[in-house]
Homo-oligomer: A and B are copies of this chain.
Amino acid sequence: MIRVSIDDAPIELGVEVAALEERGAGAVATFTGVVRGDDGVTALELEHYPGMTEGALIALAEVAMQRWSLLGVTMVHRVGVMVPGDRIVFIGTAAEHRREALEACAYLIDRLKTDAPFWKRETRGDAARWVEARESDADAAGRWD
């Protein structure tokens, strides 16, 4: 089971996890990215490439399903305007054993950072700026090659 969603509605974590647990897996791993407000960010806006984004996420999920023999993958990315505390992204994996679920979850968030067409703009009070890509993200993605 692969579930991919790009939506401007809040991410319903309980619903997503329940769907993964219903796969009959013994192990479910999740990663949730949350908007941080600790450096003065008052809003975060996510832009994406409609048409391409969904295909990019499905391609990543398919690679992970096969590489780790998963029973389920869920990738949900929120787009539009968010505030600190909101969930930006949810990755969930279901597998028979913990190693597969945990590794695949780390893989998927590392790769999503470099392989999916999303762009973040941070607002601090009146000032907005586009977030710069970080070299550490490319390094993290590269370790799975």
**A residues adjacent to B (C-beta < 8 A):** 13-14, 17, 21, 24-38, 84-85, 87, 96, 98-99, 101-102, 105-106, 109-110, 140
Copies in the complex: 2
Q: Which residues of B contact A26 (CB under 8 A)?
A: 33-36
Asked if B24 and A13 sit within 8 Å, CB to CB, the answer is no
The CA of A85 and the CA of B1, in the complex, are separated in Å by 17
Indicate which residue in B31, B36, B85 contacts A102 across the interface (CB closer than 8 Å). Answer: B31
Distance (whole angstroms) from the CB of A122 to the closest CB of chain B: 12
Asked if A98 and B33 sit within 8 Å, CB to CB, the answer is yes
Asked if A17 and B32 sit within 8 Å, CB to CB, the answer is yes
The CA of A121 and the CA of B85, in the complex, are separated in Å by 41
The contact sample of 10 A-B pairs, CB cut-off 8 A, is: A13-B17, A21-B34, A21-B85, A24-B84, A27-B33, A28-B30, A28-B31, A31-B102, A33-B98, A98-B110
Asked if A32 and B37 sit within 8 Å, CB to CB, the answer is no
Distance (whole angstroms) from the CB of A76 to the closest CB of chain B: 14
Q: Which residues of B contact A98 (CB under 8 A)?
A: 31, 33, 106, 109-110
Distance (whole angstroms) from the CB of A4 to the closest CB of chain B: 19
Distance (whole angstroms) from the CB of A142 to the closest CB of chain B: 14
Asked if A25 and B21 sit within 8 Å, CB to CB, the answer is no
Q: Which residues of B contact A87 (CB under 8 A)?
A: 21
